[in-house]
Amino acid sequence: MAKTKLNLISPIEFSAKSLHQKNDYLQALANQVANARGIQDPEPLDKDSLSSLRRFYMRRKASDLHHNKRKDPELQAAMQRLADAIHLGEVSNLIHHEANAPIAAFALHDQDAQLSFFTSEIHDAPLKDDVNLMDVAPFSMSKIIRSDKIIYKLPDCVITIQGTDVGIITAYDYDIFILMVSQLSGQMRQYRTDIKKGLRPSLPPRIFRPSAIDILRFCKRTPGGKQYADLEKALDRLQTTQFKITNLTPTEKRREAEGFTLIGRYKVISHTTTNRVDEIEIEIPEWVYQGVVTAPGGTPSILTLNPDYFSITRPMAKFIYRLARKACGMSGFAEYGLKTLYQRSGSATPYRKFRAMLQTLVETSKTDPLPDFDISIVAGRGGEKLRMVDRTKALDMKSAA
């Protein structure tokens, strides 16, 4: 069967769209392909298909990487058009593939970066992270479990992370914290919606009860024996790793607390027939609950993350994405000296190895970019810097110019 001709927008135009707009656009293209094949009421793409299509659409290909080095403007423009044509042809192939694949039905209610789940126990929830911990790595980036102390000395505060014999939390443990905060935020958003409708809802509870499979699916991990066994270890680290923030300026709005942890008590409510962890009960700490539900002025101390955050596999990349998400802000641009990044990473590796890992991440991002942000190492006063640019805001500024 001949392929349906799709009139695709450029990757730059696609990047400028919101998550909701991207999903609607991709779904419309898939529907076009399905209709051409005689399917009049096609099922919607599932969240994994949409995530793959979004990332592939914005991915730079090898043909993109050299056209901007040419001095002739006309030749440069021609090479850009050729690169876009090659890439969009590959995007078209992937859309045809996804439209032809078996598709799991779910409602496209992903406004404000919501994710969908296959269980009624976990509601759609936009990814949220605590803003107070986004300019450092609140986790160990080592593959080896660390039980020592990490101290971050920032201009406005000192953040101390103290591990125990079970170790400091890892980047993957921290994903569970993001799930908890995201779920609480989603419940609070529904609470405000119900209030506007004239209803009398109750505030969200301080107890969070996900199943193990909910956690693994949310964090985009393949369910398996090792993942279930590691889950309890992760909860142990989340419950025992101690954080302390000491403000250095009296006017600073960053929260200050003595010895807080990322989760309160937890217990395994049930096991499966194969003795794997099934349902879990997690107490939401008071400082998290206050930051989301009873925040002063009604403004939660959280920021929304791109749903593709969980597609980031390397701890270094998770650290850089979170830093960029907070630092770029409204300007869409930020720079950090590499030595400063090294200090804020809490890395136990020598600086030269950290520098090499960062360089590898920057090179890899040319063909497999981080969600939302482009990164590059540039020369600057006092040494090299990592430049972080929000692709959407950069495009807006370019259009305004």
**d(C-alpha 231, C-alpha 228), whole Å:** 5
Q: How confident is the model at residue 95 (pLDDT cuts 50, 70, 90)?
A: low
3-state secondary structure 318-336: HHHHHHHHHHHCCCCEEEE
Q: Which of 48-57, 77-86, 366-375 is the least confident region? A: 77-86
Per-residue pLDDT tens for 240-265? 999 988 877 665 555 555 679 999 99
Is 98 a residue whose pLDDT tops 70? no
**d(C-alpha 248, C-alpha 252), whole Å:** 8
Q: Which of 107-121, 277-291, 299-313 is the least confident region? A: 107-121
**d(C-alpha 141, C-alpha 317), whole Å:** 10
Q: Which of 81, 30, 23 is nearest to 55 (CA)?
A: 23
Per-residue pLDDT tens for 10-40? 878 888 888 888 888 888 888 887 777 677 7
pLDDT at 158: 86
**d(C-alpha 328, C-alpha 322), whole Å:** 10
- Average model confidence (pLDDT) across the chain: 79
pLDDT at 303: 85
Higher pLDDT, 399 or 190: 190
What's the rounded mean pLDDT across residues 168-186?
92
